[in-house]
Structure 1
């Protein structure tokens, strides 16, 4: 899904015309499995990283160079930035690298078929953007035997690593089998350094209820 950034030619300077920038096209682009996987990854961050400032989003366009088309990752995470107060304003509806002052630290692509260029043009673009970590999750092994590929930025390019701990952001990723929103499957999840997954809001509530029951307190009575 690619949107084109339109530029006004004013005194030969590249000045982006925000009013002409395509921030959404209302075209459904994802399947049910990918959509649920995206919500798990984004939602668990917001449930678990309460004391950190960050922006995590799914299927939101990133513009990184004036005059070049946007790239729309399945998921991105950018730390130390926040969504502007008025997010309905045109210039606040997508991720403009020159406005936020930095590229996201992490981008995740979920492979649905062999046409997505996850290991081709998308990899090159994220490399050019200097995204610290690029993660390709391929649950159906469309691109080969590896279900999970993790790339880390070294000097001028990406290097594939087997280390699932993303040291620069203090998070890891792991493959986890279990139930999310009534669906039992294998999922990609965030984890801490010990390998424990970051819980969703529902999982946190369940853990709290179990602790209360162990103390002899009926959670439904609170």
Structure 2
């Protein structure tokens, strides 16, 4: 699939402004039941490996804000990563994120395809703007991941020359190097919290799988049993 953003149209004026206090954020339901679990698993593995720091923003279905030609545009990726954000005033809960105004640019966005929508590929260059257009031409997100859990398709795009996305080629084992996290990303089939499906997972530079917290607990319990200790008796 060739995705090309029209370049003959005048680019919108982009400003980075706080979300208006009276702006009603979208409250649409997620498009398939796997989206929240896929996102949670990605974050859980990073946290269990000690790779999440307080200044980072890692979120799911969370609004990213830009003002285009004086119109507020919000897109909510299924998973996103910002390496450093500014503290919120008085510790207020963050309800959205405006790059540059609230911290560094967004480094990674992921979209998990539903079984009825292809908006993740939209290059619509006019309001309300397509997702791919918004991530590439407006936010200039270095890494854009699209995962289709139904067709088991994983695509990773990186910004190349001219700030245009280039589809990346996986390694021999089907994984993609994600430089913003210094980790590999790939598909893995198995069970987490009672759900057996294809998951997105992280591997480190040496090829070691980053374990979920549940897997770490299971390994600890198995080690205790090897030592003659009943882990259930410790609860």
Instruction: Place the TM-score, normalised by the shorter chain, in its bin.
Output: 0.7 to 0.9
Preserved CA contact (<8 Å) 1:76 1:107: yes
Q: Assess, with a 3 A threshold, how the Cα gap between structure 1 residues 83 and 176 changes in structure 2: closer, same or farther.
A: farther
Inter-CA distance 98–180: structure 2 relative to 1 (3 Å threshold): same
1:118 corresponds, among 111, 117, 120, to: 120
CA distance in 2, matches of 1:97, 1:68: 13
Match runs of 1:59-70 below 5 Å: 59-65=61-67, 67-70=71-74
Aligned to 2:10: none
Aligned pairs, number: 202
Q: Does 1:74 align with 2:74?
A: no
1:148 to 139, 147, 154: 154
Contact 1:37 1:188 in 2 (8 A): yes
> How far apart, in 1, do the equivalents of 2:217 and 2:16 lie?
50
The answer to whether the 8 A contact 2:84-2:103 is kept is: no
Q: Is the 8 A contact 1:55 1:83 kept in 2?
A: no
* Structure 1: tracts of 5 or more residues without a match: 1-12
After superposing the two structures, state which structure 1 stretch, 175-184 or 34-43, moved more: 34-43
Give 1:162 shift: 1.4
Q: TM-score, normalised by structure 2?
A: 0.75
Over the aligned positions, Cα root-mean-square deviation in angstroms equals: 2.5
- Give runs of ≥4 in structure 1 deviating > 6 Å: none
The gaps in structure 2 that reach 5 residues or longer are: 1-14, 123-129, 171-175
In the alignment, the residues of structure 1 paired with residue 191 and residue 43 of structure 2 have an alpha-carbon distance, to the nearest angstrom, of 16
The separation in 2 between residues aligned to 1:31 and 1:139, in whole angstroms, is: 10
Does the Cα contact within 8 Å between 1:107 and 1:133 map onto a contact in 2? yes
* 2:136 corresponds to which of 99, 112, 127: 127
- Contact 2:16 2:98 (C-alpha < 8 Å) held by counterparts: no
CA gap of 1:51–1:118, structure 2 versus 1, over 3 A, is: closer
The superposition leaves residues 61-88 of structure 1 with CA deviations (integer Å, 9 ceiling, x where unpaired) of 1003353311111110111236636343
Q: How does 1:15-54 map to 2 (within 5 A)?
A: 18-22=20-24, 24-50=25-51, 52-53=53-54, 54=56
Report if aligned partners of 2:46, 2:52 keep a CA contact under 8 Å in 1: no
Is contact 1:136-1:148 (8 Å) kept? yes
Cα pair 2:19 2:65 within 8 Å, conserved = no
| TM-score of the pair, normalised by structure 1 | 0.79
Q: Tell me if 1:159 matches 2:166.
A: yes
SS at match of 1:130: coil
